[in-house]
Amino acid sequence: MTTSDFDAYIAGLPRVLAAAAALFRDAEGNVLLVEPNYREGWGLPGGTVESDDGESPRQGARRETAEEIGLDVELGRLLAVDWAQGPGRPPLVAYLYDGGVLGDGDLDAIRLQEEELLSWRLVPRAELSAFLPGVLGRRVVAALDVLEREGVGAAELENGHRVG
């Protein structure tokens, strides 16, 4: 196969997007959510992985967390990988990492990226579905389940539902 044949082959492959986020909690187990200004609803600190620049999902989650909420912390283990596909858009592989437990000093240090975020809040697990309906909510709950069972590997998900 020539270089041009290989390039044509690569160009013809399906497009898959990658995103990465961090799951932060406080000492009571409440989850840190952010409210973006560019769409309805709430989310986690994170965003698109800039793979064209050679960025890994872990690096992307850390960069996005630092940009969005001003916390540049080394992320913990991978909690969930989710293949999410909706009508009219390319599939998304979403990585969710353990951001750890934030103390009062960490919470006081949060500085929102005003170009993208309106606010942040801590939400108890029992109320997550009201803030994170659908795929993202299921992904976060699956990640919390992984955290509760120490030593269990990451959750493999498709559209927020466990597989395997």
Per-residue model confidence (pLDDT) at position 164: 78
pLDDT digits (tens, 9 = 90+) for 59-86: 999 999 999 999 999 999 999 999 999 8
pLDDT digits (tens, 9 = 90+) for 88-142: 888 999 999 999 999 999 999 999 999 999 999 999 999 999 999 899 999 999 9
What are the domain boundaries of the chain? 19-162
In angstroms, the Cα distances linking 51 to 22, 31, 123, 135 are 18, 27, 31, 23
Per-residue model confidence (pLDDT) at position 114: 94
Model confidence, pTM: 0.92
Per-residue model confidence (pLDDT) at position 26: 98
Q: Is CATH 3.30.70.2170 the right assignment for the domain spanning 19-162?
A: no
Nearest to 158 by CA among 79, 87, 94: 94
Radius of gyration of the chain (CA): 17
